[in-house]
Amino acid sequence: MLDRDRCLALDAEDPLREFREEFVLPEGVIYLVGNSLGALPRHAPERLRRAVEDEWGGQLVGGWNSAGWYDQPLTLGDRIAPLIGAGPGQVVVGNTTSIAIHQAVSAAARLRPGRKVVVSDARNFPTDHYMVQGLAESLGYEVRDVSEGRFDDVAAVLLSEVDYRTGERQDVPEVTARVQAAGALMIWDVCHSVGAMPVDVSAADFAVGCTYKYLNGGPGSPAFLYVNPRHQADAVNVLSGWYGHADPFAFEAGYRPAQGIRRFAVSTPHVLSFAALDAALDVWERVPLHLLRAKSVALGELFAGLVGDALEPASPADPERRGSHVAFRHPDGYPVMRALIDRGVHGDFRAPDILRFGLAPLYLRYVDVYDAARTLLEVLDKELWRDEKYARRLAVT
């Protein structure tokens, strides 16, 4: 087992160590929730100030041209593309992951008109199911769980590359090939993998993801939608807003879809939220993703190794089958996590019994992981979580 000095040495030789300096991290906190909301990039406040004061305040409606607001959904899409194995003109930014799912599943259903089944996965983040359920009910489709393993009558399959609770990672190329061999379309949700490892959705039909987790785009920053170029000419955007029109400023009476990825834009971008994401993507241009993955694996192995058998693991033991968070089960997971947070180690709890620790490799140090695991062991060993002040549920956990 590594000791603390060895962790300090690993930090000193970490090729990603300088990225930590680009983020604001509160004093006295070990932040293991970067998989839920990423940290603030140090230069983001100035980018926001510029968007608010110089662009909105100074240029007013002219900002749509002069500040590049109009093209944000596509320019930011092109900046995200390299992070998911996509090329220019394949990704559009805007709205939320839920809404991007509605667009992708609707489009996939229209591309496979004879098939009236959509497959989801009980392990998807619930909004993925919920969106599929709402759409399927509206269209009269069946929703089937992936565990049934039958795709030959399926229009679309929506799976997550990394499980939001357990961190289990799917074999994207293998699953994509299997689904497509059965004639179904593959939609990947990469919310819990993008920015934590190299992602490659280029063989998939569609992909969706959020930008406020490992990408550090800010609370509620806009989501993205990848559409494989082979579908861009035929896929229908059911949310056929003016931003996806071939000539939005002609104010024609009839919807006429744009060519290319612009067709999947819906409407006016949330400019201020886009500005923060734009700042976050400045950092990503310089991140070597293979080094990021190597560090993520090393941090995960360190944390899991230190915890040992003090907690029941919920994540796969094989780091190749794991994303960048590690999870454990505890029947009193909620007070355990609150006791831990009270001691400066911030993870999160996912009902009913999951303790989740996000290991954002861009700004987390080996020594942070070491200290977090030691604190966790102390909380468990001394049963500090039994204090009644940790029992009361907060509104959001």
Complex with a second copy: residue 72 or 202, whichever CB lies closer? 72
114 binds a second copy (CB under 8 A): no
Residues with Cβ within 8 Å of residue 192, at least 6 apart in sequence: 35, 125, 160, 161, 162, 163, 164, 167, 213, 323, 324, 325
Of 19, 23, 212, 243, the catalytic one is 212
63 binds a second copy (CB under 8 A): yes
Residue 213 catalytic?
yes
Instruction: Choose which of 82, 89, 134, 183 interacts with a second copy (CB under 8 A).
Output: 134
Torsion of CA 88, 70, 274, 244, to 10 degrees: -60
- Strands of the sheet containing 348-350, edge to edge, are 312-313, 325-329, 354-358, 348-350
147 binds a second copy per the rule CB under 8 A = no
Closest approach of Cβ 244 to a second copy, in Å?
8
Number of chain positions touching a second copy (CB under 8 A): 93
DSSP run (H or E) holding 185: strand 185-189
246 binds a second copy (CB under 8 A): no
Pick the binder of a second copy from 276, 302, 369, 379 (CB under 8 A).
276
Q: Which of 78, 189, 278, 353 is catalytic?
A: 189
Q: Is 104 in the site for a second copy (CB under 8 A)?
A: no
Smallest gap from Cβ 351 to a second copy, in A, equals: 5
Mark residues 190-209: x for contact with a second copy by CB under 8 A, - for none: --------------------
Count CA within 13 A, CB hemisphere, residue 242.
9
Q: Are strands 117-120 and 142-145 parallel, antiparallel or unpaired?
A: parallel
Nearer to a second copy, 26 or 149 (CB): 26
Please list every residue from 282 through 321 that binds a second copy, using CB under 8 A.
none
Q: What angle do CA 388, 390, 393 make, to 5 degrees?
A: 115
70 catalytically annotated: no
Given the residues 115, 165, 213, 263, the one annotated as active site = 213
- Hey, which residues between 226 and 245 contact a second copy (CB under 8 A)? 236-245
- Of 183, 197, 367, 171, nearest to 289 (Cα)? 197
C-alpha dihedral sign at 85, 64, 278, 223: negative
Inter-CA distances, 277 with 133, 222, 273, 362, Å: 30, 8, 7, 16
Options 4, 12, 45, 378; binder of a second copy; rule CB under 8 A: 45
Tell whether 127 is in a known binding site. yes
Active-site residue 356, yes or no?
A: yes
Q: Is 138 near a second copy (CB under 8 A)? A: yes
Q: Which of 5, 8, 12, 53 binds a second copy (CB under 8 A)?
A: 53
Least separation in angstroms between CB 96 and a second copy:
4
Binds a second copy (CB under 8 A): choice among 16, 44, 157, 204: 44
**Residue 188 assigned ligand-binding role:** no
User: How far, in Å, are 143, 151, 245, 261, 314 from residue 146 at the CA level?
Assistant: 10, 9, 35, 29, 20
Judged by CB, which is closer to a second copy: 46, or 387?
46
Q: Residue 161 in contact with residue 192, Cβ under 8 Å?
A: yes
119: contact with a second copy by CB under 8 A: no
- Amino acid present at 384: L
- Confirm or deny that 357 is annotated as ligand binding: no
DSSP class of residue 162 equals: B
**CA dihedral of residues 189, 190, 192, 195 (deg, nearest 10):** -160
Closest CA to 224 of 176, 191, 185, 175: 191
Residue among 78, 85, 92, 97 that touches a second copy (CB under 8 A)? 97
Q: Provide the terminal-to-terminal Cα distance of the chain, rounded to the nearest Å.
A: 32
Task: State the catalytic residues.
Answer: 125, 189, 212-213, 356
Name the binding residues for pyridoxal 5'-phosphate. Answer: 97-98, 125-128, 189, 192, 212, 242, 268
